[in-house]
Amino acid sequence: MRKLFIIISLWLTALSAYAQWDVDSILHQLMATIERRDYYYTLREVRIDSLKQLKQIVPEANMERSFALNHQLFDEYKSYQSDSAKAYAYRLQEIARRAASPTLTAEANRALLFAYISGGLFKEADDVIEDTDLSQVDNDTKADFYFLCIRLYSDMSNYVNAGFENEYVARSHAYADSVIAYKNPDSYEVAYAQAFKTIDNLKIDDKIALFKALAERTDIDQGEKAMFYSMLADFYSMQGNSDGRTFNKAQAAIYDIQSAKHETTASRDLALYLYECGQLDEASRLIHLALDDANFYNARHRKMEINNVLPLIEQKRYDSVFSQRNLLIILIIIAGALLIALSVAIFYILRQMKSLRRSREEIAQQAEALSSAQHEITQRNAELQESNDKLRESIKIKDEYIGYGFSVSSHYIEKIESLYKLVDRKLAAKQYDDLRMTLKKKDLREDKETIQRDFDRIFLHLFPSFITSYNRLFPDDTSSAASSTAAEPTERRLTSEMRIFALIRLGITDSATIATLLNYSVNTVNTYKTKAKNRSLVPNEEFERKILEIRSID
């Protein structure tokens, strides 16, 4: 159980890490953003053009407004194009000199300082700091200038030769103290300066938490967010978290593109990460993107960094393409051999198929003949079965009615014998008048009713569904009309009309014979038949066939 618990815990931890760092998704998002990068650069160009047009209509005598417009243009260029940024920084210095304003001079020097730092001109940037007098400016202006000094000496500590790092780190910490002293305690600059001062003494997890908080601030733009996400990626790299490193560096690259910056490092670093992971196509695309940005911005130190990485990626990519080409050649040779083998196999198969087709045709012909014979046998069997059914039915009907005939005959022989005896007695006694009166009182209607009742009983015993089947041949609203000229049928009795067709079902089709058996006239029988056929749902010529299809009991 303990091992199972450990395995489940490790699995949940891995799943949580995967959910936190969806590297494939962020890389897909980055590639989609790269496809749209011209759109973001176009937006910046539109803003720049608008500011330039506005600048043309502002009089040079209005130095404050002219300084503000040139400063806005510098802000647009400072992370976009180094040479243009420096040009507008020089214009700011010129306007500040003409205005003789210490505050404007400090702002112009700060702009030039940023342009030198971004362009990798650290010596020139250090000279700007030495030449800037901040004694007559307010605290916010001082803090903003010192904030850039932190970045300058931090960058210099990373790029200069060994032996000077500690001096530049000390300077950057000193300027961080100045920012904390002069700036609003709730400002982003103070939060960054405090983080910068304490970062060397923090554990990796604490550094990550600190810079996550900075990246999530709402008072910074996308360019600054890109810087913090890039730093977070470096911390995750120190921690050994490759997914966290790649995810955050990709996020930084996205923010760089969306803010239309050319002064970037995230694309280069991410290209190196992907190169290490074997994702050479993406790495190549990103390193060329980084090179394009460095060339456009004209940052010498960025070009040097990229040129150190670019040959590694391209060589590895070339080796990969070369290997793929060799593999492709091998696959082509194998495919050619398989194609030849396939051609031989197809030729053999076609011959076999031709032979098989002939065999199938012969089998089909035999099968067709057999099927025809089977169909004929089946048909004959069906006809024979139908004949047998009819024969069994006929035998059963004959058996029933033969018995019925003997019974009726015996009954009436007894009645005739009784009548003969009565007549003989009356004649012997010469009671002629009494005999005539006795014969007049004799009523045959009861005998006829008895004969019909017995016929109905025997017939419905043989054909219990006759009444139901018969009524189905008529519409619902006219089925009752079948009994309009006779008593309504009950469960064991037929109407006069039904009785006629019952005799037809028994095979007695001659109207004269039917009339004799039922004690009707021929005209009455024909009238019943005609009315029934006219009322039925089936054609007249089909009616009697439908009657004959009513089945008896098995």
pLDDT at 497 over 70: yes
Q: What whole-number distance in Å separates Cα of residue 343 and Cα of residue 256? A: 57
Q: How confident is the model at residue 399 (pLDDT cuts 50, 70, 90)?
A: low
Please tell me the predicted confidence (pLDDT) of residue 440.
63
- On average, the pLDDT of the chain sits at 83
pLDDT tens digit sequence for 91-102: 999 999 999 999
User: pTM, whole model, 2 decimals?
Assistant: 0.56
- Give residue 106's Cα distance to chain centre: 61
Please tell me the predicted confidence (pLDDT) of residue 382.
73
DSSP label of 21 = -
Q: How confident is the model at residue 392 (pLDDT cuts 50, 70, 90)?
A: low
Please tell me the predicted confidence (pLDDT) of residue 484.
41
pLDDT tens digit sequence for 217-239: 888 888 889 988 998 998 899 88
For residue 132, CA distances in Å to 70, 108, 114, 149, 177 come to 20, 10, 14, 12, 19
Q: What is the DSSP string of 487-552?
A: PPP-TT---HHHHHHHHHHTT---HHHHHHHHT--HHHHHHHHHHHHHHSSS-HHHHHHHHHT---
Q: Output 394 or 331, whichever has higher pLDDT.
A: 331
Q: Output 413 or 131, whichever has higher pLDDT.
A: 131
Q: How confident is the model at residue 396 (pLDDT cuts 50, 70, 90)?
A: low
The closest alpha carbon to 108, from 91, 122, 123, 124, belongs to 91
Q: CB-based burial of residue 477 (10 Å sphere; 0-12 exposed, 13-18 middle, 19+ buried)?
A: exposed
Count the neighbouring beta carbons within 10 Å of the beta carbon of residue 176.
Answer: 25
Q: What whole-number distance in Å separates Cα of residue 320 and Cα of residue 145? A: 49
pLDDT tens digit sequence for 43-61: 999 999 999 999 889 887 8
Q: How confident is the model at residue 387 (pLDDT cuts 50, 70, 90)?
A: low
Q: What is the DSSP string of 76-110?
A: HHTTT-HHHHHHHHHHHHHHHHHHT-HHHHHHHHH
pLDDT tens digit sequence for 307-321: 877 787 878 777 767
pLDDT at 488 over 60: no
Q: Output 245 or 450, whichever has higher pLDDT.
A: 245
Q: What is the DSSP string of 463-488?
A: -TTHHHHHHTTS-TTTGGGGGTTSPP
553: its two tokens: 């009991």
